[in-house]
Amino acid sequence: MRLKRRTKEEQTQGPVVLVVMDGVAIGRRDESDAVHLAHTPTLDALSQGMWTTLRAHGTAVGMPSDGDMGNSEVGHNALGAGRVFAQGARLVQEAIDSGAIFDGNWQNVTAHCKDKQSTLHLLGLLSDGNVHSHEKHLHAMLRQAAKEGVKRARVHALLDGRDVPDRSALEYIDKLEAVFAEINAQEGFDYQLASGGGRMLITMDRYEADWEMVKRGWALHVRGEGRQFASARDAIETLRREYPDANDQYLPSFVIAKDGEAVGPVVDGDAVVLFNFRGDRAIEMCRAFEDEDFTPFDRGTRPDVLFVGMMQYDGDLHIPQRFLVSPPHIERTMSEYLCHEGVRQFAISETQKFGHVTYFWNGNKSGKFNEELEAYVEIPSDDVPFEERPWMKAAEITDETIKALRSGTYQFLRLNYPNGDMIGHTGNMQAAIQSVACVDLCLARLLKVVKEVGGVALITADHGNSDDMFERDKQGQPKRDENGNPKIKTSHSLNPVPFYIFDPKGHKDYQLSELDDAGLSHVAATVFYFLGFEAPEDYDPSLVTPA
């Protein structure tokens, strides 16, 4: 797999730097838009030069519909692959619609539970955010399990408040309870919720940033250890009174109990399905269930269960071993092509987004394509609430990238500033404004060195977030609370993202391409253009063409 070179006269002499400003899109430029409200002289200057907007949601990034917001997984897949692949949300829904999901390992699960007269456990994020999971997938599996004669099931629900409105958990609990009631109306069936808690406190850690989250989830879901309540509604309403400042993603965990005994610990002979389809926040719990030599925490006696994931989250490491739906098969990514051409590459972010510029960028593959040509740098993230340090590790990321630029070693460098996304998810408007201003300040430092070394910088985002901090009604107007204040939104936006070209040598040799509905997948061919290569024929075309 080789790339065709453009003429030497058309090639960029210096390095090409791709900057991903996570969660920074083009908003309404009003009071809801933290990007607009931030002090951003660097972005303002870039908007006076050559730039365009890109679609970063819906079908442009492989989601089922254009009503689906984008996210970091699908955004970085599209950026790195240069093409649009059907993503987990779409693949799972198609498998449910066709019934294919209920073949193969699903049959092993239901047969296992019936043969051993054991419990089916379903663990995952309970919402319709369609970023990590969707409640309708869970409902379909519960109904199918009952149809196939599985008499007993327990759901372990991670509360969202991040990809959906921040205090919407009871809406999803009520719908789940309605499914339980429907199934339990049949004689001999016992389906109920067993445990729950905020996704940012338990279970859904990623990139080994905080194994304590997984340890807490293991104790809760598997061992049934936690504060006990008679029902999920009782738990959520009580915990909201006790922790009035905690939205759903940070709500303390709970166990549903009867007569002082947890109703749903995982025991020998049970089956467990992790129903999230996105991999980054699922891998660690998979390892806790599957790894023989497991050292991150003391899990005690591991129950002998049949464990299955919704998808295989890491194809290289085969995590998990059993899964229901095959993941997108992404091959021939930009980095793989560049390695074949001998191009030295540098990728960096802090822990919270490190896998986005490596694992997701490379098509959901762990490791490097070429150890000699690629350098990956992870800056450890702080273990504090994100809104308390909205600057995160942007300065350190910038420092290391500047060192890499001045070394003259790398021809292509990519980095992710997590601030706009991670702070946007907190719902803290002032912190979000500061986070965007911090990214702008770091960009100013970085672009100065790009100019110094004779390079080109391409600045974009993987999706929106801080650009739209208010919940909206069907007419697009902000929803209001009982005091008349706008309701804060913590999920991603559907807004387009910017694509700025910073080229100190000027733009006389090229111009923006005339493309309809260009998206993130067009960035890869653009990087190839500036590196002096023609993109493969099946890649989405470059955002620039020769003048």
195 is catalytic: no
Q: 394-431 b/e with 16+ CB inside 10 Å = b?
A: bebbbebbbebbeeeebbbbbbbbbbbbbbbbbbbbeb
How does DSSP assign 82-125, residue by residue?
A: SS----HHHHHHHHHHHTGGGSTHHHHHHHHHHHHT--EEEEEE
Neighbours of 373 (CB within 10 A): 18
Name the nearest CA neighbour of 458 among 76, 17, 13: 17
3-class DSSP state for residue 499?
strand
Helix or strand holding residue 523 (H, E): helix 523-531
CA dist., res. 156 & res. 142, Å (int):
13
Neighbours of 168 (CB within 10 A): 18
Number of residues written out for the chain: 547
CA dist., res. 391 & res. 422, Å (int):
10
Q: List residues bridging with 255 in a β-sheet.
A: 195, 228
> Residue 8 has what DSSP assignment?
G
Name the nearest CA neighbour of 249 among 546, 8, 489: 489
> Residue 132 has what DSSP assignment?
S
Catalytic residue among 47, 65, 72, 381: 72
Opening angle at CA 300, ends 295 and 303, nearest 5 = 105
Give residue 210's identity as a one-letter amino acid code.
Answer: D
Distance between first and last Cα of the chain:
28
CA dist., res. 254 & res. 197, Å (int):
6
CA distances from 66 to 58, 336, 418, 450, 541 (A): 4, 30, 24, 36, 21
Question: What residue has token string 């999971």?
Answer: 133
Helix or strand holding residue 286 (H, E): helix 283-290
Q: Are strands 261-262 and 271-274 parallel, antiparallel or unpaired?
A: unpaired
Q: Are 254 and 232 within 8 A, CB to CB?
A: yes
How does DSSP assign 24-93, residue by residue?
A: -----SSTT-HHHHS--HHHHHHTTSEEEEEB-SGGGGT-SSTTS---HHHHHHHHHHSS----HHHHHH
Name the nearest CA neighbour of 156 among 103, 223, 108, 206: 223
**Where does 388-481 have alpha helices with state H?**
394-407, 419-424, 429-452
- Residues annotated as catalytic are 72
